[in-house]
Structure 1
Amino acid sequence: MKFCNFVPEMEILIYDKAMQLEGLAVATIGVFDGVHRGHRFVFEQLADKARERKLISTVITFDRHPLSVVCPDKCPPLLTTLDERLQLLCATGVQRCVVLPFTEEMAGLAACDFMLLMRQQLGVKLLLTGYDNRFGHDRSAGFSDYVRYGQEMDMDVEALEPCNITEEDCPVSSSMVRRLLADGALDKVHHCLGRDYSLEGQVVSGEQIGMKIGYPTANLSPDTHKLLPKAGVYAVWATIGVDGPTLPAMMNIRHCPTFGGRPTTLEVHLFDYNGNLYGQTVRVRFVGRLRDEQRFADASALKAQLAKDQSDALQVLRADAEAQETVCGK
C-alpha cells in the first residue's frame, strides 16, 4: 500500500491503542468514499476552523467500509480504494489523516466512548459533523447527544453546512455517485466528483480475441471491492505504471455477450501501442461512454464496430485534451 508517500505535506497515521497525538485538532470523521465535491466542501470548512482556532486540521477515516464488518451483505462496492482515498485527501490541504482499522471491537464502541477516544488519544478539541451523521455501535445517538458528550469531555461539537451541487440542488453523496456510475452517467459522475472516475488494475492474461482481429487488449484485474461503471464501451486515458506514458485508449466492460456468458471482464485497447503490458499496472480514466455492450454475429462484424469505436473515442479524447489545455492555459 503506497499511502500517498509522494505528498509529504499531509501526515498519515495508522491508529493503534497506544497512540497519543500531540497538539489539539479540529476533526471530521467518515469513510469519504470517492472524496467527492461534498467531501471537499467539508474539508474547506475544516481548514477554515483550523485557521480560526489555531488547531490541526484532521480527517479521521477507516481502512475499510464499516458495513464490511457490521453488515457485509449491505456493504456497497467502493468508488475509491484506501490508497486512492489517501491520494485524493493529500490534495485537499488537510494537515493530518488518521486511519482507523475498523474491527469488530471498533464497531462495538458506543458513541460516547468513540468520542472519548478521539479526545484523549487523537487530541480532538473540535469535532465537525453533519447534523444527520450518526456513529457508535447502536447509532441511536444524534447531534444533540454528541454536543452533550462533548461538553462532558471538553470537546466542542459543531454542525457542518451541507453542500448542494447537483442539478436537483440536493446534497451530493457517495451513494448517489455509485448510482450514477452504475447507470453509465459519466457527465453527472464528473460533476459530483469534480474529476473523471478512474480505476487501476494489473494486466493479466486473457483470451486474446482482440489480438486475432487486430485490436489487442490488456485485460485488467482491479481491486475486487472497486465499483465498475455500467457495462459498455468507453473512451479512456490509460496510464502505464506510476511514471509511464498516458495514452488514448478505449475500454470495454463486458459480460461477454458475443462469445458466451462468462464473468465481467475489463479490456483496454491502447491506440498505436505495441508493447508487452503483462504484469504491469494500468490506470484508466473514464472520459466518455460510447455505447452499450452488444452481441455480434461474427468476428468481422465486431471488427467493423471496433473501428467505429476507435474513431469515436479519438474524437472524445481530442475534445478532452483541448479542454484540459484551455483550463491549464487560463
Structure 2
Amino acid sequence: MKFCNFVPEMEILIYDKAMQLEGLAVATIGVFDGVHRGHRFVFEQLADKARERKLISTVITFDRHPLSVVCPDKCPPLLTTLDERLQLLCATGVQRCVVLPFTEEMAGLAACDFMLLMRQQLGVKLLLTGYDNRFGHDRSAGFSDYVRYGQEMDMDVEALEPCNITEEDCPVSSSMVRRLLADGALDKVHHCLGRDYSLEGQVVSGEQIGMKIGYPTANLSPDTHKLLPKAGVYAVWATIGVDGPTLPAMMNIGHCPTFGGRPTTLEVHLFDYNGNLYGQTVRVRFVGRLRDEQCFADASALKAQLAKDQSDALQVLRADAEAQETVCGK
C-alpha cells in the first residue's frame, strides 16, 4: 500500500487499537470517494470550526469502502483509490487524516461504541456529520442519536451544511458522480469534482493491433476497483511516471469490436511519442469524450477514423491548454 508520493503537510495516521492521539480535534468521518466539491465544502466547514474552537482539523476515513466488507455485492467501483484520496486530501488544508482499516470487527461496532473510540483514542471533541451520514453497525442510528451519545461522552455533535452545486440544486454525492461518469458526461463530472477525472495504470503487453495500423497504443492495467468511464474514445492528457512528461493523447475504452471483441481494454495513443512504456505507470486525465466505440468494416476504415479522432482530440486539448493558461495567468 502506498500513500502520498510527496511529503504532505497533512499528518497521515493508520489507526491501530493502541492509538492515543494528543490534542483535541474537530473531525468528520466518511469514505470521501472522489473528494468532490461537496466533500471540500465539508472540509471548509471543518477548518472554520477548527479555527473557531482552536481544535485540530481531522478527517477520519477508511482504507476501503465499507460495503466491500459488509455487502461486497453492493460495493460500487471507486472514483479514487486510497492513495488518490490521500493525495487529494493533502491539498485541502486539513491538518490530520486518520485511516481506519475497515474490518468485520469494526463493521460490528455500534454507533455509540464507534463514537467512544473517536472520543477516547482520536481525541475528537467536536464531530461534524453530514445531513445524510450514518455510521455504526446496521447504520440504524441517526443524527439525534449521535447528539445524545455525544452528550454522554463529552463530545459535541453538529450537522454540516450540504453543498448544492448541480443544475437540479441537489447535493453532490459520490454516487451521482459515478452515474455521470458511467454515462460519459465528462463536463458534469468535472463540475462536480472541480477537476477532470483521472486514472492510472501500469503499461502491459497487448496484441499490438494499433502498431500494425500506425497508431501504437499503451495498454493500461488500472486498479481493479477503479471506476472506468463509459466505453468510447476520449481526448486525454497522459503523464508518464511520477515526474515524467505530460503529453497529448487519445484513449479508447472498450472491447475492440472491429477485431472480434475482447474483454474491456484501456488503450492510450500518445501523439508523437516513440519511447518504450512497458512496465511504466501512465496517468491519464480525461478532458473530452469524442465518440462511442464503433465496429468498422476493416482496419483501413478504423485507421481513417483514428486520424479524425486525433485531429479532434488535439483541438480539444489545445482548448484545454489555453484555458489552463488563462486560469494560471490570473
Q: Shorter chain as normaliser: what TM range?
A: over 0.9
Whether the 8 Å contact between 1:130 and 1:159 is mirrored in structure 2 is yes
1:194-273 correspondence runs (5 A): 194-273=194-273
CA distance in 2, matches of 1:134, 1:202: 36
- What's the secondary structure of 1:18's corresponding residue? coil
Look up the SS of the partner of 1:47 in the other structure.
Answer: helix
**SS at 2:18 equivalent:** coil
Kindly provide the CA deviation profile for residues 29-53 of structure 1, in whole angstroms up to 9, marking residues without a partner as x. 0000000000000000000000000
What is the SS of the residue equivalent to 2:40?
helix
| Secondary structure at the counterpart of residue 48 of structure 2 | helix
Query: Post-superposition shift, 1:131?
Result: 2.7
User: 1:125-182 CA deviation, whole Å, 9 max, x = no partner?
Assistant: 0000013211111211110000000000000000000000001100000000000000
Name the CA distance, whole Å, in 1 between partners of 2:93 and 2:50: 11
Deviations 1:213-270 (A, max 9, x none): 0000000000000000000000000000000000000000012211123210000000
The answer to whether the Cα contact below 8 Å between 1:7 and 1:90 also exists between their aligned partners in 2 is no
Q: Distance in 1 between matches of 2:19 and 2:133?
A: 25
C-alpha distance in structure 1 between counterparts of 2:26 and 2:231, whole Å = 42
Give aligned pairs, total. Answer: 330
- Partner deviation per Cα, 1:112-136 (whole Å, 9 max, x = no partner): 0000000000000000001321111
Which structure 1 residue ranges, 4+ long, deviate > 6 Å from structure 2?
none
Q: State the 1:5 CA deviation.
A: 4.4
CA shift, 1:18, in A, is 0.3
Contact 1:252-1:268 at 8 Å conserved across structures: yes
Instruction: Tell me if the contact between 1:186 and 1:289 (Cα under 8 Å) persists in the aligned partners.
Output: yes
C-alpha deviation, 1:7, in angstroms: 3.8
> 3-state SS of the aligned residue for 1:268?
strand
- Give yes or no for contact 1:199–1:285 (8 Å, CA) kept in 2: yes
Aligned-partner SS, 1:312? helix
CA distance in 2, matches of 1:268, 1:131: 41
Between 218-227 and 256-265, report the one with greater CA deviation: 256-265
For the aligned residues, what is the CA RMSD? Answer: 0.6
Distance 1:79 1:176 in 2: 11
After TM superposition, the score normalised by the length of structure 2 is 0.99
Return the alpha-carbon distance in structure 1 between the equivalents of residues 5 and 291 of structure 2: 38
CA-to-partner distance for each residue in 1:168-222, whole Å, 9 max, x for gaps? 1000000000000000000000000000000000000001000000000000000
Deviates more, 1:259-268 or 1:203-212: 259-268
Distance 1:8 1:227 in 2: 26
Q: Distance in 1 between matches of 2:260 and 2:128?
A: 51
Residues of 2 paired with 1:79 and 1:23: CA distance?
32
Distance 1:183 1:258 in 2: 23
Residue 8 of structure 1 and its aligned partner are, at CA, apart by 2.4
Does structure 2 retain, via aligned residues, the 8 Å contact 1:15–1:99?
Answer: yes
> CA separation in 2, counterparts of 1:117 and 1:150?
12
TM-score (norm 1): 0.99
Paired residues for 1:269-288 under 5 Å: 269-288=269-288
The residue aligned with 1:306 is 306
Q: Give the secondary structure class of the aligned counterpart of 1:258.
A: helix
Q: Is the 8 A contact 1:69 1:103 kept in 2?
A: yes
SS at match of 1:138: helix
Tell me, in whole angstroms, the C-alpha distance in 1 between the residues paired with 2:8 and 2:73.
37
Any conservation in 2 of the 1:219–1:265 contact (CA below 8 Å)? yes
Distance 2:103 2:227 in 1: 23
Residues 74-100 of structure 1 show CA distances to partners (whole Å, capped at 9, x for unaligned) of: 000000000000000000000000000
SS of 1:315's equivalent in the other structure is helix
Q: Distance in 2 between matches of 1:267 and 1:100?
A: 35
Structure 1 residue 278: Cα displacement: 0.1
- Unaligned runs of 5+ residues in structure 1 are none
Sequence identity of aligned pairs in percent?
99
Asked if the contact 1:255/1:263 (under 8 Å) is kept, the reply is yes
Structure 2: distance between partners of 1:4 and 1:280: 18
Q: CA deviation at 1:294?
A: 0.1
Matched residues in 2 for 1:5 and 1:326: separation? 28
Structure 1 SS opposite 2:138: coil
1:134–1:142 Cα contact (<8 Å) kept: yes
1:2 match: secondary structure: coil
C-alpha distance 292-117 of structure 1, shift in aligned 2 (>3 A):
same
